[in-house]
Chain A
């Protein structure tokens, strides 16, 4: 069964350092999502891509976060500089098309900022 791949699974960094997370969606899935999940809360959407284009980044803290999906396949989420409050699980999901398509999630990257 096809799955969304993410790496690394765990990342520990010091504040003010740069970190990057990678996501490879299910093959053929046009839509890719990045979510952030703080401990004890549900996932919160950060950014949504349709192919290589950003369709929603309204919740992305653009002063320090950036996301790209250059060839419309895999994607990278970057934080620079990291802050203590960025400690969370970062989840990637993909769906086949856009409207009302089921989203399939990867295992996530757990970030700890010291």
Chain B
């Protein structure tokens, strides 16, 4: 299973864009990149996923490099409620293998 590398923590000012990086250099051609987040003491929440093309939904944008070895999750206007642990996961055959994620702290 492809592994992912994320910074352990990041800060972001409220109202600014939060850009969360993820390296997945061993990803294979049929593996999706998924992003989930987990707010304290809650279950993980699905954010977005993609295979090759960039994706956008009401929560975030996902930018995947052309070689697919890294990706960036963008929260365009971070709010205090976006403070959470963000997990980047490479999914293969419907299995999600979580790492320790990036703890994003949004400050006023």
Question: Which residues of chain A have a CB within 8 Å of any CB of chain B?
Answer: 4, 31, 40-45, 48, 56, 91, 93, 95, 98-108, 110
Contacts and interface: CB of A to CB of B under 8 A. Distances in A.
Main SS class of interface, A: loop
Contact of A42 (B43, B45, B100): B100
Interface of B: 32, 34, 36, 41-46, 49, 87, 91, 93-101
A103 B94 CA distance: 9
Tell me what chain B mostly uses at the interface: helix, strand, loop, or mixed.
Answer: loop
A60 to B, nearest CB: 14
Given A95-B94, A98-B94, 4 more contacts: A4-B43, A41-B100, A100-B94, A101-B94
A105 B94 contact: no
B46 A31 contact: no
A76 B100 CA distance: 27
